[in-house]
C-alpha cells in the first residue's frame, strides 16, 4: 500500500510542482513583469474568464518547473503533459467558479484540491495510461495532501485562502 502511494506521488510529482510553484512565485513576486492575468481581464457573458489569480507568470513558472521534474524523472514529455494538464485543470476550475459567481480565492472544496490532478490525468492518459483505481487513489491521496499543504500555506502566510 505504501509503495503504491509513493508511486502515485512520484508519477504526479510534475503536476504537483506545477501546481505549487505559481503560489511560491506570487509570494516572492518572482518575474513581476509576467504577473498579468491569463485572461487579459476579458469577460465572457459578463463575467471574468478566469480572474486575476490565473496569471501568465503562473503558467510559465509552473510549466517550466513541472517539466524540469519530468526531465529529472527521465520522461520530459510526461512532465510537460502533467504540468500543462495541471494548470489547465486549475484554469478550468476557475472558469467554472466564475460561472457560479464564486469569488477568486474563495475555497471550493474538493475542486480546489483535485482540479490539477484531473487535468494532469486528462493530458497524460494518451502518454502513460494508468488503471482506474490508480487514478482514483491519485485524486484522493493528492487531494488530501493538497488540502494539508494549502492549510499549512495559509497558516504560514504563503497563501491567502484554502
pLDDT class of 158 with cuts at 50, 70, 90: confident
What pLDDT sits at residue 79?
98
> What is the CB-side half-sphere exposure of residue 156 using CA atoms within 13 A?
10
- Taking the CB of residue 127, how many other CB atoms lie within 10 A of it? 13
Averaged pLDDT of the chain: 93
What pLDDT sits at residue 154?
86
What pLDDT sits at residue 91?
96
134-147 CB burial, b ≥16 within 10 A, e <16: ebebbbebbbebbb
pLDDT of 1 higher than 70: no
The crossing angle, in degrees rounded to 10, of helices 56-73 and 13-27 is 140
What pLDDT sits at residue 104?
80
What pLDDT sits at residue 11?
96
| Average pLDDT, integer, range 94-123 | 93
Amino acid at each position: 500500500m505504501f509503495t503504491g502511494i509513493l508511486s502515485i506521488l512520484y508519477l504526479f510529482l510534475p503536476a504537483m510542482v506545477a501546481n505549487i510553484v505559481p503560489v511560491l512565485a506570487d509570494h516572492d513576486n518572482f518575474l513581476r513583469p509576467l504577473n498579468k492575468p491569463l485572461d487579459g481581464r476579458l469577460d465572457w457573458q459578463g463575467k471574468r474568464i478566469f480572474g486575476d489569480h490565473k496569471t501568465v507568470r503562473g503558467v510559465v513558472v509552473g510549466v517550466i518547473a513541472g517539466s524540469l521534474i519530468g526531465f529529472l524523472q527521465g520522461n520530459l514529455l510526461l512532465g510537460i503533459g502533467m504540468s500543462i494538464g495541471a494548470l489547465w485543470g486549475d484554469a478550468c476550475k476557475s472558469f467554472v467558479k466564475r460561472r457560479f459567481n464564486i469569488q477568486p480565492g474563495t475555497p471550493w472544496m474538493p475542486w480546489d484540491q483535485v482540479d490539477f490532478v484531473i487535468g494532469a490525468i486528462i493530458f497524460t492518459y494518451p502518454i502513460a495510461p494508468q488503471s482506474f483505481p490508480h487514478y482514483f487513489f491519485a485524486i484522493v491521496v493528492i487531494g488530501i495532501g493538497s488540502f494539508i499543504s494549502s492549510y499549512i500555506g495559509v497558516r504560514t502566510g504563503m497563501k491567502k485562502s484554502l
